[in-house]
Structures are given as C-alpha cells and as structure tokens.
Amino acid sequence: NAGVTQTPKFRVLKTGQSMTLLCAQDMNHEYMYWYRQDPGMGLRLIHYSVGEGTTAKGEVPDGYNVSRLKKQNFLLGLESAAPSQTSVYFCASTIPRRGDASSYEQYFGPGTRLTVT
C-alpha cells in the first residue's frame, strides 16, 4: 500500500495563478483532510471531507476550494494564489469507526511545498 500520496511535491506560483493539489489514499478511508503548516503555527485545518461528495470548512478555508468526487481522492484548489498562501500543505485520512477509539489516528502524506511569489 502506498498510503497517502500527494502531487506535486513542490510548486512555485506567481500571484494570481491557480493550481490544484491532489491527495490520494489507498486505505479505503472515509475521512480526508487538508492542512497547511506554517512556522510557529502548527498545522491548521483548511477543509475536510467525511465522505465522497461531501466537504466542510475547517479553520482557515478562505482562498481555497476542495472536491471529493472519488472516495480515494481529495483535491485542494487555489483559485488566485497569494503570497500568504506560501506554505507546506499536508493531506491526511482516517476511518473513524464509532466505538473504536483507535481508529481516530490520522495518516499523513509527505506534503507539498508551495511558494507564491
């Protein structure tokens, strides 16, 4: 199993350009998440999905859109990139099962380093 994979690993954008980050998981997980990591701020949740076709806003959703057309994929879009979106983006997945506390562990991808100039 590849686990959680992210594409691309690195990207440089100019202000105003758009792009899509792809997250894929092969563990049949229901829940998927997008985080951004900035120095001194830990990880902040951008958007998440609790199943195919459903998405919800996290802590810092502005400037991002997401889609979950297939269970195994979770896409993060930047419509008009801004320098403030320079960050490392992590995708994660899990399959919480009611009554199974151990299932709350999230599995992370390797990250995408995005620079907006």
Is residue 1 close enough to count as binding other proteins by CB under 8 A?
A: no
Is residue 48 close enough to count as binding other proteins by CB under 8 A?
A: yes
Q: Which is nearer to other proteins, 40 or 69 (CB)?
A: 40
Is residue 45 close enough to count as binding other proteins by CB under 8 A?
A: yes
Q: Which is nearer to other proteins, 85 or 93 (CB)?
A: 93
Q: Which of residues 70-99 bind other proteins (CB under 8 A)?
A: 90, 92, 94, 96, 98
What is the residue-wise DSSP string for 80-115? S--GGG-EEEEEEEE--BTTBGGGG--EE---EEEE
CB atoms under 10 Å from CB of 110, counted, come to 12
The residue from 2, 42, 62, 69 that contacts other proteins (CB under 8 A) is 42
